[in-house]
Structure 1
Amino acid sequence: MSVPTSILTLSNPAAKVLLPLAAIAVTLVLSRVRGLSPTQDLALVRPPLRPLLLWLILALSWMLLTDFLLPWRGPFNFIPWQAQPLWVSLARVLGVAVLGPIAEELVVRGAIFSRLRAAGLPVGVVVAATAAGWSLLHIDYTSIVIAIIFGFGLLLGLARHYTRSLWVPILMHISWNLYAVW
């Protein structure tokens, strides 16, 4: 049985949900197979509330400041959202603003971050390397936006390091994408 090519295109709303779900599943399975601990290696532990809120405020400040100085987001335009079926909008928000950040953070600041730290690399190098690699995943954006994403990646890595919880960068990333997706 072959999969219709229209399902595989990234503009397809189903793909926006299925691809990050697959990435989450593959990352969790591979982590388990390689003996990584969800709490120790992937840092899937509950963060303290106060640091979580402080990092969220810092992330939102970076987002709003960079958008004010270099309007990377563009104007709010709800016309395309109104022109499509509700399920398409919901799939887009779920895939891009929730599942995508979870998948990216599991891979970059979960598995890769912990492997680089276990290899003995200094925290600063790991934070910068994961930020650089993650920002290059967004290569289809302008160089200014990639630089902003790199700066945000540094914040995500620092939040992961200082809170010792992957949930903090996940929630920071979700809040960023919720703002950007509209």
Structure 2
Amino acid sequence: MDSILRVLLLRTALPVAAIAVAFAVAHVRGADVRTLFALRPPSARAALGWLLFWAAWVAAVEVAARALGVAAPAPWVGRGAALLAAIAVGMVLAAPALEELVFRGALVSRLQPRLGTAATVLATAALFSAVHVQYGLPELGLLFLDGVVLALARVRTGSVLLPFAMHAAGNLVAFVQRAAG
């Protein structure tokens, strides 16, 4: 299979299909999809504050990762523009959309009333890092901390849209780093 098509299928089509299935199942079960997935805009003030915090957070994590000896991911050299565009769509849009709808959307909505805020934040962060099996232990620790920050943004604002924007921005930075080589 052509590498561009494979990337589009794995990084974009599968997450989009999973999102469609999640919405369909929620709808069939009679759930209010907007409430379950926290699809409400945050206030402009909260969004600006969290996005500024996220920018500082991403920069601090980069510095900490290098100080801890976490190697930068290998650059994507020799990949054509079409393949990089396909990777970007999946990495910057599709994957963060799916992960945020699941971890900070539905799971926070379901777990917070049962477990309370602190346990929900920690549980969803742990699950978020656990699904990233392609990374080593130091990276998983950093992903856990990212999950905590994203979950706190969701809990504090009541919106999954803000963690999605934060997650997409973080993935965009990682994409640009690897694509630029």
* Alignment gaps of 5+ in structure 1: 1-5
Answer yes or no: is 1:160 the counterpart of 2:162. Answer: no
Q: Tell me the alpha carbon deviations over residues 27-57 of structure 1, each in whole angstroms, 9 at most, x when there is no partner.
A: 1111212222232221101111111111111
- Asked whether the 8 Å contact 1:160–1:166 carries over to 2, the reply is yes
**Structure 2 counterpart of 1:112:** 107
Counterparts of 1:162-181 in structure 2 under 5 Å?
A: 162-181=156-175
Whole-angstrom distance in 2 between the partners of 1:34 and 1:61: 40
**Structure 2 counterpart of 1:66:** 61
- Asked whether the 8 Å contact 1:97–1:174 carries over to 2, the reply is yes
Note the C-alpha offset of 1:117. Answer: 2.3
After TM superposition, the score normalised by the length of structure 2 is 0.86
Q: Which has the higher helix share?
A: 2
Whole-angstrom distance in 1 between the partners of 2:168 and 2:71: 15
Whole-angstrom distance in 2 between the partners of 1:134 and 1:75: 20
After TM superposition, the score normalised by the length of structure 1 is 0.86
**Structure 1 counterpart of 2:21:** 26
Note the C-alpha offset of 1:69. Answer: 2.1
* Alignment gaps of 5+ in structure 2: none
Structure 1 runs (4+) deviating above 4 angstroms are: none
Whole-angstrom distance in 2 between the partners of 1:110 and 1:144: 26
Note the C-alpha offset of 1:76. Answer: 8.2
**Structure 2 counterpart of 1:55:** 50
Change (3 A) 1:163 1:141: same
Question: What letter corresponds to residue 13 of structure 2 in structure 1?
Answer: L
- 1:84 alignment partner, one of 73, 79, 82: 79
- Asked whether the 8 Å contact 1:44–1:166 carries over to 2, the reply is yes
**Structure 2 counterpart of 1:135:** 129
Change (3 A) 1:138 1:101: same
Whole-angstrom distance in 2 between the partners of 1:35 and 1:162: 26
Whole-angstrom distance in 2 between the partners of 1:70 and 1:126: 26
3-state SS in 1 of match to 2:159: coil
Q: Give me the CA root mean square deviation.
A: 2.1
Whole-angstrom distance in 1 between the partners of 2:112 and 2:34: 15
Whole-angstrom distance in 2 between the partners of 1:34 and 1:177: 32
